[in-house]
Structure 1
Amino acid sequence: MAAAMTLQDYLSLDGRAPEKHIVYGAAPSQFVELFLPEGPGPHPVVVLLHGGCWTVDFGGIRQMRSMASALAAVGAAVWNVEYRRYDEEGGGYPGMYQDVASAVDLLREHAAEHALDLSRIVAVGHSAGGHLAQWAASRHKLPSWSATWTQDPLPLPQVVSLGGLADLRNEAGLICTSCERTTPQLAGVPTADRPDVFLDTSPAELLPCNAHTVLIHGEFDEISPLAMGERYAARARAAGDEVEVFMLPGASHYDEVSADSPSWAIVGREIMRALE
């Protein structure tokens, strides 16, 4: 069995160049990379959201090109999303969430030109990106008072969360220990009009989201351990959602996103299964 990947292994991940670089805002981090498979389409779509503990310090969109390249090679179009993290101007709450919403909904404008089949679509996120992927699939449940609310969000009926950190309330202590992120950095601060900051930022508060969710964790994932996924799954199932949990043998938090890792046999399979 290959050794589990380290943070430095993760930071060295890369892949081929995308077919298109699409800007959705004025900030440097407001763009999407589109990877296209061969053939005329229509192509199923993977919406990819990178992790990195919601900070600019631990990589970003480039590391996800490993997965994007591998998925395009087997017939999926990949919408690789960059967004403003908590330590970028305009990031955090609500900007980070507004970026994800804008990037996802932008697919509608580009679907016809690139033969993208939006009826076969899955949101895939790693770590912090798992949180944002699950949040994106829950946007139809957002309260209308939220600064993150939009009318008629693009439906995301399938989610694959890789070492996701999606329960901002109940896992706040673990998130602070593993990522050194605090609730105000990720969800904002309470106000008179918004006393509970988790209600529009934490997917666990938006259950049931009515998406089929697959939670995948490495056996040796210390950032987002398997037990975290199992706790989320229990809560989601109790609310009526369909959730599956997988463990990657011998894997760390970083094997989850490497197409060169033995874990890709499981991760790639589950992503493509979501597009059937």
Structure 2
Amino acid sequence: MPYREYDQAGLDAQYNNRAMVPDHAAYIDSWATRSAEARRHLSVDLDLAYGDDPRQRLDFFPAPQRDAPVLAFIHGGYWQALDKQHFSHVAPLFVAAGIAVAVLGYRLAPAQRMTAIASDIRMALAFLYRELPSLGGDRARIHLAGHSAGGHLAAVAAETDWPALSPDLPGDLPAGLVRGVCSISGLYDLEPIRRSYLNEVLALDAPEVAALSPMAHLPAKASGPLLLAVGGAESAEYHRQQADYAARLRAARHPVQAMILEGRHHFSAVDALAEPDSPLFEGVLRQILAPRF
């Protein structure tokens, strides 16, 4: 099933991030090590359950002060790998800046279809919205960030009609629930994923692609601005995905900032979120701390 200018082998190569970065395992091991260190040194509520499955859990790192803004982070892994425990290391810099962090877990393929995975993220955010007053966060200031598949899921969550989905949510629920989104190495058009080797596990069909491709569904304006970032050394398809999505958002007059993280590949791009001098960390910090619109 060729796609655009690619034959099957070429398309598969565009989305095979592990093959493009032979030492990817060292990055994953580093995430796990730094995350374990973060959990040892920060206050954290571990494994808060938003559903019955063991993967329907989130970890919450409170800020030093109550009523803090919140960054909810969604991990990558092509919807089929990794875990929230790999990404606790995104919390320390934000907590030090007075921002609480929630790291979301979710069920994975092939046990779950993409529709159920997206539903998990919405369930986690609805749970967070309900529980933030007791956890010490401000539910009027929830921001999202995600990497790779997590970037896709963050963009999908930004499209949600929250009052229609969860009419039982308390308080003055905004249409967007989240105030801003950062997608790192995100995937916004699922058609090439459906046509690639990844679909052997994901089993995407055409209706699911149509329903869950952010390219086809703009975020609610109330979801706030989007910050899109891609590593300069990532594949041409990742750059195309970001450029096309940014153009679609701009055409609809939706606030969006797109950046290239020079010299970074798929696995080092997300590390910029945990580096104090990186433009990505600074951009997300500005987004979260900007005055309310």
The TM tier, using the shorter chain, reads 0.7 to 0.9
The residue number in structure 1 matching 2:280 is 267
Q: Work out whether residues 276 and 282 of structure 2, in 8 Å CA contact, stay in contact via their aligned partners in 1.
A: no
Q: Cα deviation per residue 1:141-178 (whole Å; 9 max; x = unaligned)?
A: 99x8xxxx544676113110000012223xx25x755x
**3-state SS in 1 of match to 2:108:** coil
The residue number in structure 2 matching 1:206 is 217
The residue number in structure 2 matching 1:29 is 55
What is the aligned length?
252
Q: Work out whether residues 163 and 224 of structure 1, in 8 Å CA contact, stay in contact via their aligned partners in 2.
A: no
Please state if 1:222 is matched with 2:243: no
Q: Cα deviation per residue 1:229-268 (whole Å; 9 max; x = unaligned)?
A: 1111111212231211101111111122225976961121
Gaps spanning 5+ residues in structure 1: where?
A: 191-195
The residue number in structure 2 matching 1:94 is 115
Trace 1:221-240 onto structure 2 (pairs within 5 A): 221-222=234-235, 225-240=238-253
1:186 Cα offset (Å): 6.4
Task: Go from structure 1 to structure 2 and tell me whether the alpha carbon gap of 1:183 and 1:125 turns closer, same or farther (over 3 Å shift).
Answer: farther
Q: Work out whether residues 93 and 274 of structure 2, in 8 Å CA contact, stay in contact via their aligned partners in 1.
A: no
Q: Alignment partner for residue 163 of structure 1, among 185, 196, 219?
A: 185
The two structures, once aligned, show a CA RMSD in angstroms of 2.8
1:184 Cα offset (Å): 8.7
> How many Å separate the matches in 2 of 1:227 and 1:128?
16
Aligned letter for 1:239?
Answer: A
1:223 Cα offset (Å): 8.4
Gaps spanning 5+ residues in structure 2: where?
A: 1-20, 168-172
Aligned letter for 1:161?
Answer: S
> How many Å separate the matches in 2 of 1:126 and 1:204?
17
Task: Go from structure 1 to structure 2 and tell me whether the alpha carbon gap of 1:27 and 1:116 turns closer, same or farther (over 3 Å shift).
Answer: same
> How many Å separate the matches in 2 of 1:83 and 1:260?
21
1:114 Cα offset (Å): 2.2
Q: Cα deviation per residue 1:70-104 (whole Å; 9 max; x = unaligned)?
A: 2222221111100011223xx22432122111100
Q: Work out whether residues 209 and 241 of structure 1, in 8 Å CA contact, stay in contact via their aligned partners in 2.
A: no
The residue number in structure 1 matching 2:6 is none
Query: What is the percent sequence identity of the aligned residues?
Result: 25
Task: Go from structure 1 to structure 2 and tell me whether the alpha carbon gap of 1:118 and 1:230 turns closer, same or farther (over 3 Å shift).
Answer: same
Please state if 1:43 is matched with 2:68: yes
Q: Cα deviation per residue 1:40-87 (whole Å; 9 max; x = unaligned)?
A: 32211001000011112xx22122112123222222111110001122
The residue number in structure 2 matching 1:182 is 199
Trace 1:72-221 onto structure 2 (pairs within 5 A): 72-88=95-111, 91-140=112-161, 149-151=165-167, 155-169=177-191, 172=192, 177=196, 180-182=197-199, 185=202, 187=204, 189=205, 196-210=207-221, 211-221=224-234
**3-state SS in 2 of match to 1:75:** coil
**3-state SS in 1 of match to 2:244:** helix
Q: Cα deviation per residue 1:173-210 (whole Å; 9 max; x = unaligned)?
A: 5x755xx32299265x46xxxxx333431222212532
> How many Å separate the matches in 2 of 1:135 and 1:61?
19
Q: Work out whether residues 158 and 178 of structure 2, in 8 Å CA contact, stay in contact via their aligned partners in 1.
A: yes
Task: Go from structure 1 to structure 2 and tell me whether the alpha carbon gap of 1:119 and 1:212 turns closer, same or farther (over 3 Å shift).
Answer: same
**3-state SS in 2 of match to 1:225:** helix
Task: Go from structure 1 to structure 2 and tell me whether the alpha carbon gap of 1:130 and 1:155 turns closer, same or farther (over 3 Å shift).
Answer: same
Greater helix percent: which structure? 2
**3-state SS in 2 of match to 1:112:** helix
Q: Work out whether residues 5 and 254 of structure 1, in 8 Å CA contact, stay in contact via their aligned partners in 2.
A: no
Please state if 1:20 is matched with 2:45: yes
Q: Alignment partner for residue 11 of structure 1, among 28, 34, 38?
A: 28
Aligned letter for 1:80?
Answer: V
Q: Work out whether residues 93 and 276 of structure 2, in 8 Å CA contact, stay in contact via their aligned partners in 1.
A: no
Task: Go from structure 1 to structure 2 and tell me whether the alpha carbon gap of 1:245 and 1:150 turns closer, same or farther (over 3 Å shift).
Answer: same
> How many Å separate the matches in 2 of 1:99 and 1:132?
10
